[in-house]
Structure 1
């Protein structure tokens, strides 16, 4: 079964909701899903469905030849073989060392010939907004085999997480955030009847009780993580991203409620004070964090707080037709690059995230490219979208490497990423849970 190696399936309550919401997603993208690995269709070679009430096992596949990179160790293996059985890596390494494992599955395996290409683990996008089947499939095809949601308006990410369990060639494995914990959620509060009473609050979601309610409903609906903010948006010309909307006490209330439910918090932030308050409040990761200061970086290193700078989103902002947003992007991007390099030098854990949304999906390889341009060595830039991001989203034992027992997620690229990380922007082949992902 193609489940997370370190996570149990969602509860029956979440599954019911996932099925209902997932039906809408599938209806919107029925043509694409009709050919996917689901119980209603014939399985591709090497894919086993199992019982009708359980997600199918992953694919059995051999990646034959190619140059294998292990981001954790930096080891490069030429003429390598990766053996994936039922969606899990059985063996990965030199041809001689994997010969017996390859022979054991050869008759039932699909073979992908990788001669002349580099083989890496599937990439991890630690901050992305996916609301439709088409967006999820596009992110997957661009190499993001695992992602952490940056929230959606109506719990679409939870439905997409369920789709990925049933059809890993259609959507990346998802850590869902549910709906945004923000002072003025507007109609997002209609995503669930239990949130609707909060619409009557004159000052919005600001009291400890209202913040706790938002978190508790998110978790009860199956959210894996909680998304909140400390500053206004950068992508809206009518907002000032340096204006603080929650203080440290309010952020602490959100973090405490999340921790009671076993979840971590990611925090949208820009201003120096806002980032500092968020870190001291106990958030697990700082998102964007343009004006992240060295004082706060030291706290982050000590606490293990991650930095997800979303450089690709700032680069896109700089090209926006709105002059206010374009100027904002041009100012923010070089400042954020300097913050990334200094955070890396100080030992702050860094994860790659594109902040893609609204139907425009940036390849996670673009974020790796911008990390490299910020001054990170090539291998460390790659780690931000493999081992680093996997650790941030709690998948370090199942993603970010092609090693025995890890999930069978891989990308094949036409070039040496250690010489030119830009090759990661356009994988020639993507494999999710042992199943080759088709083109859009």
Structure 2
């Protein structure tokens, strides 16, 4: 059964419609102001003006030890100058010229690193977004939300950077059973009548197209069932190679990549050869697939933190699953690293609980990565996956003014990243 032939909402229409609505609103308010005071029945007229200037603060971080994950260089008694949310200069104190009136953040005794990136997180509320920032996540990639909340969080971050990380949004999950997510957009509602769910080429394209029309930056899909639900079998495959290829092709037509929830070796192999950008979880990924990933430059985002969390579950099925999967996944991470498969850190946080991204770095280290390379999975490597390697993942001139201060040497003990003592977001010290 195919989706009825009604076109998804146009991205052009959506964006222009927003702008037109804003212009109409501004015109209405201007007209109301021009006609004089409002009557008592309507209340006072209030002009509403959107500040279109780039948000961000100016700040000097001085006196700490700076680590550059890109090179591994360590600078003691460092100074990082951020102006209007962007790094203007970096070096030793005395080598950086500081404009008058710039706020100073003393970092003596601390290590300074770029803000961390969580490459797989589900942010559905403003509280979760704010919590993520306070735990050191200044950049992130969404693992999908049910009703396009991640797209709103992305816009929140652009206008109020202290309240949310810079976010790459995935929109809604391309999955066989959308459930209530068919109510996320009118363009999805025809899918509710499909007896077999979102499986046909037309239905798969429809979800991708609606996502892109809503402004999604990437597409999220799955090849296996979920590990976090005891009634599901994470090794059961839900989409074929052909179906995954349809999703990838629909995304690529608009220049977007695909991240894919996966567990079984066959599922991982089908997803990678279908052309996904990154493999999520991937506990049982095998050597043949890892070689293919290295050849294609496909990333592995193992979400070790989420699998470790299963082991602590009160549900005996989930606890056993976590205890079984975690050592297997750690071995897969080390095999991927040794083969040269790019790795990115992601916590898979959801449901109101934001796990510290530093815990994922700690588990990468426990899997066998050297400390610096473990740190890179949440900085430079994650930035490359998100396509922001020229603006995030380092503290260098022209990069985002996002930083964390930690109480200790992360090269000696990466666990300090779980507890940042200060966070700077776009030049604003939190």
Q: Same fold (TM over 0.5)?
A: yes
* Alignment partner of 1:172 is 2:172: no
SS in 1 for 2:345: coil
1:427 aligned partner: 420
* Alignment partner of 1:264 is 2:257: yes
Aligned ranges for residues 113-192 of structure 1 at < 5 Å? 113-192=106-185
Q: Say which of 249, 255, 271 aligns to 1:278.
A: 271
For 2:63 and 2:238, how far apart are their aligned partners in 1? 53
For 1:17 and 1:345, how far apart are their aligned partners in 2? 48
Would the aligned equivalents of 1:129 and 1:356 in 2 still touch at CA under 8 Å? yes
Instruction: Please report how far the alpha carbon of residue 135 of structure 1 lies from its aligned counterpart in structure 2 after TM superposition.
Output: 0.5
SS in 1 for 2:124: coil
Q: Say which of 244, 248, 251 aligns to 1:251.
A: 244
Would the aligned equivalents of 1:71 and 1:383 in 2 still touch at CA under 8 Å? yes
* Alignment partner of 1:354 is 2:347: yes
For 1:384 and 1:184, how far apart are their aligned partners in 2? 32
For 2:426 and 2:13, how far apart are their aligned partners in 1? 23
For 2:150 and 2:17, how far apart are their aligned partners in 1? 15
1:400 aligned partner: 393
For 1:15 and 1:332, how far apart are their aligned partners in 2? 47
Would the aligned equivalents of 2:59 and 2:104 in 1 still touch at CA under 8 Å? yes
Instruction: Please report how far the alpha carbon of residue 14 of structure 1 lies from its aligned counterpart in structure 2 after TM superposition.
Output: 4.6
1:57 aligned partner: 55
* Alignment partner of 1:340 is 2:333: yes
Task: Give deviations 1:371-392, integer Å, cap 9, x for gaps.
Answer: 0000000000000000000110
Cα separation, partners in 2 of 1:218 and 1:110, compared to 1, 3 Å: same
Cα separation, partners in 2 of 1:230 and 1:17, compared to 1, 3 Å: farther
Q: Say which of 69, 82, 85 aligns to 2:83.
A: 85
Task: Give deviations 1:349-395, integer Å, cap 9, x for gaps.
Answer: 00000000001110000000000000000000000000000110111
For 1:12 and 1:398, how far apart are their aligned partners in 2? 30
Would the aligned equivalents of 1:55 and 1:165 in 2 still touch at CA under 8 Å? no
For 1:53 and 1:65, how far apart are their aligned partners in 2? 34
For 1:71 and 1:12, how far apart are their aligned partners in 2? 42
For 1:378 and 1:15, how far apart are their aligned partners in 2? 47
Q: Which runs of 4 or more aligned residues in structure 1 lie more than 2 Å from their structure 2 counterparts after TM superposition? A: 10-18
Instruction: Please report how far the alpha carbon of residue 54 of structure 1 lies from its aligned counterpart in structure 2 after TM superposition.
Output: 1.5
Would the aligned equivalents of 1:229 and 1:267 in 2 still touch at CA under 8 Å? yes
Instruction: Please report how far the alpha carbon of residue 218 of structure 1 lies from its aligned counterpart in structure 2 after TM superposition.
Output: 0.1
1:32 aligned partner: none
Would the aligned equivalents of 2:55 and 2:161 in 1 still touch at CA under 8 Å? no
Instruction: Please report how far the alpha carbon of residue 106 of structure 1 lies from its aligned counterpart in structure 2 after TM superposition.
Output: 3.2
2:370 aligned partner: 377
Would the aligned equivalents of 1:55 and 1:166 in 2 still touch at CA under 8 Å? no
For 2:428 and 2:53, how far apart are their aligned partners in 1? 14
Aligned ranges for residues 320-331 of structure 1 at < 5 Å? 320-331=313-324
1:13 aligned partner: 14
Instruction: Please report how far the alpha carbon of residue 93 of structure 1 lies from its aligned counterpart in structure 2 after TM superposition.
Output: 1.6
Q: Say which of 188, 198, 207 aligns to 1:205.
A: 198
Q: CA RMSD in A?
A: 1.7
- Point out where structure 2 has 5 or more consecutive residues left out of the alignment: 1-10, 22-48
2:100 aligned partner: 106
SS in 2 for 1:244: coil
Would the aligned equivalents of 1:316 and 1:329 in 2 still touch at CA under 8 Å? yes
Would the aligned equivalents of 1:17 and 1:221 in 2 still touch at CA under 8 Å? no
Would the aligned equivalents of 2:226 and 2:234 in 1 still touch at CA under 8 Å? yes
Would the aligned equivalents of 1:216 and 1:261 in 2 still touch at CA under 8 Å? no
Instruction: Please report how far the alpha carbon of residue 96 of structure 1 lies from its aligned counterpart in structure 2 after TM superposition.
Output: 3.2
Task: Give deviations 1:188-227, integer Å, cap 9, x for gaps.
Answer: 0110001101111111100111101100100000100000
Cα separation, partners in 2 of 1:116 and 1:291, compared to 1, 3 Å: same
1:96 aligned partner: 94
TM-score, normalisation: structure 1: 0.87
SS in 2 for 1:96: coil
SS in 2 for 1:373: helix
Instruction: Please report how far the alpha carbon of residue 95 of structure 1 lies from its aligned counterpart in structure 2 after TM superposition.
Output: 1.6
Instruction: Please report how far the alpha carbon of residue 97 of structure 1 lies from its aligned counterpart in structure 2 after TM superposition.
Output: 2.6
Say how many residue pairs are matched: 393
For 2:411 and 2:52, how far apart are their aligned partners in 1? 40
SS in 2 for 1:195: helix
Instruction: Please report how far the alpha carbon of residue 17 of structure 1 lies from its aligned counterpart in structure 2 after TM superposition.
Output: 6.8
